[in-house]
A and B are shown apart, each in its own frame.
Chain A
């Protein structure tokens, strides 16, 4: 069973590669060259995790996400709960209160009914816990061999309160970069399940709905420029996206980044950099300098933000680039990967 996804291509692409879905440079290229080129409108062009649309004076956040995780069940969750958390989080990153979800299932012929029921039960539980309702949906069944067992697409809408304006294009020099907790848990948990790594204490995915954490943060201050959840491509991709969209530099400090021993051990063993590993229950906040401490305090009081840290700041230097002060002093660039990170032996 192969677990790894795609690489860097050689030259121009005439076919879609797995790397186009990895969240790194190839994904960005595909989005720009194929999708943005076709769907030209100012809302989409903002390229945030959600679209904020105005209807009769009310601002709604609208988003969609498709979940293709393998294995379907993993410590800390499954494709069902992930499908809820992922979409709720995209809405929350826009400052919205999530309200309604759709859930569309693409099922491979032969999937055990018990598996489907388990996923749906989990999805419902996650939705109920997050205070959202699944109000519409769809089902398609594809021939055996055409899918990976099960794919789920969820779309969501929520209401954005007055005065909340969040976007990855709003970061300004002097702003602080906040991270809500330890990184790399989801990616490593998935990898461990697929590859049979054992953990001393079980390492679970951090998959969680972040909207109540966001509400606490917005309650502490409205001077939050941007919220993003670092999913595929990790913290590195998210920070690079913000740097590019705001045309600023970002500097972070390696010493400030929370990391669990299990994730660290797994990354050392596999030659992986935690900055590139997926998270599903963490967020990055860019906040105005004076707002940093109150927002941090609010995060730490919330169960999902107990290990929150200020990990860096926004700078006018090196716009579009993210740098990191390493453990031993000097700085180095935190690049955006082309495709997925691969384990290495060298």
Chain B
């Protein structure tokens, strides 16, 4: 369930009473509603599901946890530990 894709907010504005953003996913852009992430700003990444941002990506947490995964992957490779 719940196909939600991370994208970067390029622009944001109020339109007809709703806050909408132009969000970039890889090489395309599409509009998404920021109704549920009032704290999100241009430059932030958000997770978009059916045209709505449902969460703001915590870049710091993502970086921290990913670095752990990456170093584990690097160590495993050096040691030749293969699945």
Direct contact of A and B (CB under 8 A): yes
Report the bound CA distance from A31 to B5 in whole Å. Answer: 38
Report the bound CA distance from A48 to B36 in whole Å. Answer: 53
Q: Is the beta-carbon distance between A261 and B29 smaller than 8 angstroms?
A: no
How many B residues are at the interface, by size bracket?
10 to 19
How many A residues are at the interface, by size bracket?
20 to 34
Q: Is the beta-carbon distance between B1 and A266 smaller than 8 angstroms?
A: no
* B2 and chain A: residue at smallest CB distance: A346
A203 neighbours in B (Cβ, 8 Å): 27-28
B1-18 interface bits toward A, Cβ cutoff 8 Å, 1 = contact, 0 = none: 111010000000000000
B26 neighbours in A (Cβ, 8 Å): 261-262, 264-266, 268
Given A345-B49, A345-B50, A199 contacting B1 (CB threshold 8 A): no
B47 CB, min distance to chain A CBs, angstroms: 12
A117 neighbours in B (Cβ, 8 Å): none
* A199 and chain B: residue at smallest CB distance: B28
CB neighbors of A among B34-83 (8 A): 48-50, 83
A181-213 interface bits toward B, Cβ cutoff 8 Å, 1 = contact, 0 = none: 000000000001000011111010000000000
Given A345-B49, A345-B50, A264 contacting B3 (CB threshold 8 A): no
A344 neighbours in B (Cβ, 8 Å): 3
A288 CB, min distance to chain B CBs, angstroms: 33
Q: Is the beta-carbon distance between B5 and A200 smaller than 8 angstroms?
A: no
A278 neighbours in B (Cβ, 8 Å): none
CB neighbors of B among A147-199 (8 A): 192, 197-199
Question: 26 A-B contacts, Cβ less than 8 Å apart?
Answer: A192-B28, A197-B30, A198-B29, A199-B27, A199-B28, A200-B24, A200-B27, A200-B28, A201-B27, A260-B27, A262-B28, A263-B27, A264-B26, A264-B27, A265-B26, A266-B25, A266-B27, A268-B25, A268-B26, A269-B5, A269-B28, A269-B30, A329-B83, A345-B3, A345-B50, A346-B2
- Given contacts A192-B28, A269-B25, 20 further A-B pairs with CB under 8 A are A197-B28, A198-B28, A199-B27, A199-B29, A200-B27, A200-B28, A200-B29, A201-B27, A261-B27, A262-B26, A262-B27, A264-B26, A265-B25, A265-B28, A266-B25, A269-B5, A269-B28, A269-B48, A329-B83, A344-B3
Q: Which A residues fall within an 8 A CB radius of B? A: 192, 197-201, 203, 260-266, 268-269, 271, 329, 344-346
